[in-house]
Amino acid sequence: MITVFGSINMDLIATPDRLPKPGETVMGTSFTTAAGGKGANQALAARRAGAIVRMAGAVGDDRLASQALALLADAAVDQNGVRVAAEATGTAHILVAADGENVIVVVPGANGTVTGEDAKRTIGAMSRGDYLMLQFEIPASAIEAALVGAKQKGVTSIINTAPFTGDAKRLGAIADILVANETEFDLFIGKGELSDEEREATMRALHAQSGQTIIVTLGADGVVAIRKGEIHRAKGLAIEPVDTVGAGDTFCGYLAASLDAGLAFKDALRRAAVAGSLACLKPGAQPSIPFASAVDAEI
Ligand SMILES: Nc1ncnc2c1ncn2[C@@H]1O[C@H](COP(=O)(O)OP(=O)(O)OP(=O)(O)O)[C@@H](O)[C@H]1O
């Protein structure tokens, strides 16, 4: 079983022809809303991959909460770990201009109220051998408590270093499995942009020290990972991406679900990479997450 301890958001998306300057008002041409938050996205991906999934985190006591959780509810993701907070449901206010340029304001709201106590309750409801998925859209103190609790309980922790923060640099190293994209991994190392060779050498050196499984996603080039001293590579699909939003979250959810189902590590990487590619074929995060039937048909 997989528990995702993380953010739940509503994305509020307006599309003006061009972005307003400070103090200016411009007219928009459309408005859409979409359920989001990296935690919720990864929970849905793991569920669509076929796993039994519990979501843990916080939403507000407002109408946005039920919209933010709607696709998780449809997919039968267990929401017993989602607390109702006094703060509003987390929102991302997104403006996308006709040329694709965008500005985003994220208001964490209820996500920002998640605490170490929530972490304790979340880990308390898990069993030895389960998988815990974490990202960095809830407070670092809660993430740290969850990592410590997971270790004590014999739960395998997977941490996705997105969005990258100083906390990701500090806490990423504690998890059993680290998942970063290239940019995040380079920030994690802190030596500027690495070449492919440098990145692989760094992964080997880090792994030799810590024994941590390290996975770096490479966009169209797939993924490279190191586990138990061995480097693995996997490719996704050769596609023309429509919108890569959600590719990383889809990868993480499918990876956790595939490991939980007992797939060999290399096969889990390939399945997650293929799922990530398919997520690039539709716009949006949650709507673009593929179902297991579509992913497995490609493998
Ligand atoms: N252009 C692409 N073509 C094919 N597959 C892709 C492409 N972009 C992403 N993928 C697949 O999705 C996986 C995750 O993508 P990526 O490495 O871009 O993560 P990310 O930067 O976290 O994604 P995002 O922030 O866009 O959600 C890749 O390992 C790959 O399998």
| CB of 215 closer than 6 angstroms to any ligand 1 atom | no
The pLDDT of residue 3: 98
- Residue 57 in any domain: the answer is yes
Closest CA to 149 of 181, 180, 173, 127: 127
Q: How far is the CA of 10 from the centre of ligand 1 (A)?
A: 22
Say how far apart CA 134 and CA 140 lie, in whole Å.
10
Strand 156-160 and strand 131-134: pairing?
parallel
Q: Atom 7 in ligand 1: which residue has the minimum CA distance?
A: 220
- Residue 19 in any domain: the answer is no
pTM of the complete model = 0.96
- Residue 274 in any domain: the answer is yes
Q: Which of 186, 251, 270 most suits a substitution to test ligand 1, by most atoms within 8 Å of the C-beta?
A: 251
The pLDDT of residue 9: 97
- Residue 28 in any domain: the answer is no
The pLDDT of residue 284: 81
Strand 90-96 and strand 9-16: pairing?
parallel
Is 111 within any annotated ligand binding site? no
Say how far apart CA 133 and CA 23 lie, in whole Å.
41
| ipTM summary value | 0.98
The CATH code of the domain that includes 258 is 3.40.1190.20
What does the angle CA 34 – CA 35 – CA 37 come to, to the nearest 5 degrees?
125
| CB of 280 closer than 6 angstroms to any ligand 1 atom | yes
| CB of 276 closer than 6 angstroms to any ligand 1 atom | yes
Q: Atom 3 in ligand 1: which residue has the minimum CA distance?
A: 220
Range of the domain at 129: 2-7+36-86+112-298
Q: How far is the CA of 237 from the centre of ligand 1 (A)?
A: 10
| The one-letter amino acid at 14 | A
167 classed as catalytic: no
- Residue 257 in any domain: the answer is yes
The pLDDT of residue 146: 98
Structurally, how many domains does the chain consist of? 1
- Residue 195 in any domain: the answer is yes
Say how far apart CA 53 and CA 77 lie, in whole Å.
5
The pLDDT of residue 270: 98
Q: Do the beta carbons of residue 182 and residue 255 sit within 8 Å?
A: no
Q: How far is the CA of 166 from the centre of ligand 1 (A)?
A: 23
Tens-of-pLDDT digits for all 299 residues of the chain? 999 999 999 999 999 999 999 999 999 999 999 999 999 999 999 999 999 999 999 999 999 999 999 999 999 999 999 999 999 999 999 999 998 888 989 999 999 999 999 999 999 999 999 999 999 999 999 999 999 999 999 999 999 999 999 999 999 999 999 999 999 999 999 999 999 999 999 999 999 999 999 999 999 999 999 999 999 999 999 999 988 889 999 999 999 999 999 999 999 999 999 999 999 999 888 999 999 999 999 99
- Residue 53 in any domain: the answer is yes
Q: What is the DSSP string of 145-178?
A: HHHHHHHHHTPEEEEE--S--HHHHHHGGGSSEE
- Residue 227 in any domain: the answer is yes
Tokens linked to 33: 């809303």
